[in-house]
Amino acid sequence: MTEKAGGKRALITGITGQDGSYLAEHLLERGYHVAGLVRRSSSSRLERIEHLEGRVQIVRGDLHDQSSLVRALVESRPDEIYNLAAQSFVPTSFEEPVLTAEVTAVGVTRLLEAMRQVAPEARMYQASTSEMFGQVRETPQRESTPFHPRSPYGVAKVFAHWATVNYREAHGLFACSGILFNHESPRRGPEFVTMKIARGAARIAAGLDTELALGNLDARRDWGHAADYVHAMWLMLQREDPRDYVIATGETHSVREFCEVAFGCLGLDWKTHVRVDPRFLRPAEVDQLVGDPSRAREELGWSPRVSFEDLVREMTETEARRLRGSV
Ligand code: NAP
Ligand code: G4F
């Protein structure tokens, strides 16, 4: 589906995050009027959407605050709502479990309730996650795989997932979830392992550091590119009926393999520079994830375009160029 959707209006919560910035570009290219919910902070967090200044409508609000969500919907009058806002970092969810539940779980109920009251005709996308599968019950994971979350973040996302199903079934809202596996890009936050490795390798290659401390090198993830994944979000809201989809590449790689490719593309041997630091191990780990995106391929015509090697290379080379001041 490539046709323009001229005249449509979208509200993106989490527009200042990795996915929000790619989705805003994606929708602008398709002729949408794009509004983004932005929360107050003591310093600006608009770096990822600076290049879109003047092209997106900024609406102030916070998933903690019901009235701000109602106002955001009234001001932006969306046909489509993409709920990408969350406390999204797993280790922080162990340190701040109640805040994570407030934002990542109850915040979604607040948004659904605001939608029910003032925008019931809109379509809503909820950012569900492969972290809900946690201690996996089957491999690969698909839409019917039972959930077994392993962190307060995963628990909060399961709540939000079922809240979305419930508002669809109980109130007839067009609300659906994408169960997205890990997706990365040069805009990934620095605390996530992929950017930590890409940046760490680039700094070592530039002689700024000599080693990189990581946690569990055996963990395996199904890593795709964020630009591919926001396209799937959009496709889900173009369907006639709301349905949930697994979005994944179907391949799994370890943190160790990520290191090997990242350091390798800068001419370095990762084994010389990476050390394991127990501070980065988690109280409960998700050992391995790999998704089965068959439903998305068959019903949405979606498939990933960027390979694992190209993703690692793009992130690492962009970090190396950033350090040289050429990005
Ligand atoms: P991200 O970069 O961490 O962005 C999170 C966004 O949420 C930021 O814009 C942040 O705003 C906003 N936010 C946080 N707390 C908020 C609050 N109380 N009220 C309003 N906004 C708030 O996350 P991402 O990687 O783009 O992921 C987008 C969504 O997909 C998240 O819900 C994440 O849990 C989910 N997800 C991500 C992946 C992945 O691999 N990336 C996979 C599956 C699901 P500030 O800029 O102000 O902090
Ligand atoms: O990059 P991570 O922090 O991502 P994680 O925990 O898989 O969560 C991300 O993907 C989810 C989708 O499955 C999203 F829902 C979530 O919002 C987020 O975007 O860690 C990946 C793996 C973990 O097993 C972790 O233990 O890498 C391992 N790891 C090893 N050393 C590390 C490190 N993770 C981080 N962040 N830092 C390390 O030093």
Q: Please tell me the predicted confidence (pLDDT) of residue 161.
A: 99
Residue 6 pLDDT class (50, 70, 90 cuts): low
Nearest to 10 by CA among 166, 238, 186: 238
Do the Cβ atoms of 183 and 175 come closer than 8 Å?
no
DSSP per-residue letters across 62-100: -TT-HHHHHHHHHHH--SEEEE--S---HHHHHHSHHHH
**Catalytic hit among 22, 32, 153, 229:** 153
CA 266 to chain centre: 27
Please name the amino acid found at residue 144: S
The contacts of residue 273 (CB under 8 Å, 6+ apart) are 200, 201, 204, 210, 211, 212, 263
Tell which of 247, 263, 296 closes a domain. 247
Q: Please tell me the predicted confidence (pLDDT) of residue 326.
A: 76
112 with 257, same domain? no
89 with 230, same domain? yes
Number of domains in the chain: 2
The pLDDT tens digits of the residues spanning 185-240 come to 999 999 999 999 999 999 999 999 999 999 999 999 999 999 999 999 999 999 99
Q: Give the domain CATH number at 280.
A: 3.90.25.10
The pLDDT tens digits of the residues spanning 122-136 come to 999 999 999 999 999
217 with 230, same domain? no
CA distance between the termini of the chain: 32
128 with 243, same domain? yes
301 belongs to a structural domain: no
Find the largest Cα–Cα distance for the chain.
58
The answer to whether residue 245 is catalytic is no
Q: Compute the distance from residue 90 Cα to the ligand 2 centre, in Å.
A: 7
214 with 239, same domain? no
**Beta carbon of 128 within 6 Å of any ligand 2 atom:** no
124 belongs to a structural domain: yes
Separation CA 198–CA 189 (nearest Å): 11
Q: Give the domain CATH number at 178.
A: 3.40.50.720
28 belongs to a structural domain: yes
Q: Which residues pair with 59 in a beta bridge?
A: 37
The pLDDT tens digits of the residues spanning 76-132 come to 999 999 999 999 999 999 999 999 999 999 999 999 999 999 999 999 999 999 999
142 with 213, same domain? no
59 with 153, same domain? yes
Report the nearest-CA residue for atom 32 of ligand 2: 193
193 belongs to a structural domain: yes
Do the Cβ atoms of 320 and 198 come closer than 8 Å?
no
**Beta carbon of 257 within 6 Å of any ligand 2 atom:** no
318 belongs to a structural domain: yes
Query: 283: helix, coil or strand?
Result: coil
264 belongs to a structural domain: yes
Separation CA 308–CA 9 (nearest Å): 33
pTM for the full predicted model: 0.97
The answer to whether residue 153 is catalytic is yes
Q: Which domain holds residue 110?
A: 9-183+223-247
Separation CA 145–CA 222 (nearest Å): 16
266 with 198, same domain? yes
Separation CA 98–CA 87 (nearest Å): 11
Nearest to 74 by CA among 9, 165, 30: 9
Q: For 155, list phi and psi in degrees, rounded to 5.
A: -65, -45
122 with 195, same domain? no
